Amino acid sequence: MSLKAVFFDLDDTLYGSFKACDRQGYAYIAAYAERELGVSGEMMLQAFADYRAQIARMQPGKPPIHDRVVVAQGALESLGLNAVRHARAVHRAYWQGVFDTMELREGVPELLRELRTAGIKTAVVTDMLSDIQMEKLELLGLADEVDYLVSSEQAGQDKPAPQIFWLALQKCGCLPEEAVMVGDNFVHDVQGALDCGIPGIWLNWNDQPQPTDRRAYTEVKTFAQVAAQVRGRLASGG
């Protein structure tokens, strides 16, 4: 069958690296705590980490919480600080650090525009709050280059659960074999897609160990190689 849709993960796929962005986000939280709350950055970050772990214990079997406002609320309350006044500011500080550190991968806008010109639907399929991921796409200059955002918040489950992939297929109006999923996380992106019958392209940019899954997929190291693979599928009709 011909290619009708391309699904892209966002974090570490269309931009990278999220670990660097995450570190900067926490650095911004620490700076806010020292500047506005009168507590050490180290103390605030420890409270933040402790409350995330507490939430995981309280909600076994559920996906990690993505809402930093909730985590900031618990962290601030544990330190005896005013969560109502400061939780949203801590949330904003974290994400500002992430936003300030994001670097779009070379060739991303060009490929998205090429797919749009060819009539191929595109969807960003991502684990995170819709609001945050929409803001990332705007800041990266991609808001007008993709057709759909499919978030785990909207689907109700993180990848690799099938709900998020089926929702992407529904939005793009195509069958599994008419799409391809591109992502850096083999289990979440590629294996999750393969479980739904969607072919996968694994962007293994940081040399992760080879998986044990023996099903057919494509492995590449750079986004330029992703683009070449997508263009090849487009040219071959599938």
Write out the two tokens for 179.
């799409």
pTM of structure: 0.94
What pLDDT band is residue 193 in, cutting at 50, 70 and 90?
very high
Biggest CA-to-CA distance, the chain: 62
Angle of helix 18-32 versus helix 83-101 axis, rounded to 10: 140
Instruction: Give the pLDDT mean for 80-107.
Output: 98
Three-state SS sequence of 82-104: CHHHHHHHHHHHHHHHHHHHCCE
Instruction: Give the pLDDT mean for 159-175.
Output: 97
Residue type for position 206: N
- Name the least confident of 9-23, 53-67, 167-181: 53-67
For residue 6, the model assigns a pLDDT of 98
Q: Give the span between the Cα atoms of 209 and 101, in whole angstroms.
A: 26
Tens of pLDDT, residues 58-72: 877 666 778 899 999
Q: Give the span between the Cα atoms of 127 and 15, in whole angstroms.
A: 15
Torsion from C-alpha of 228, 229, 235, 238, nearest 10 degrees: -170
Q: Which helix (H) or strand (E) holds 53?
A: helix 41-58
* Residue partners of 85: CB distance under 8 A and separation at least 6: none
**33: closest CA among 45, 25, 41?**
41
Place of tokens 């600080």: 81
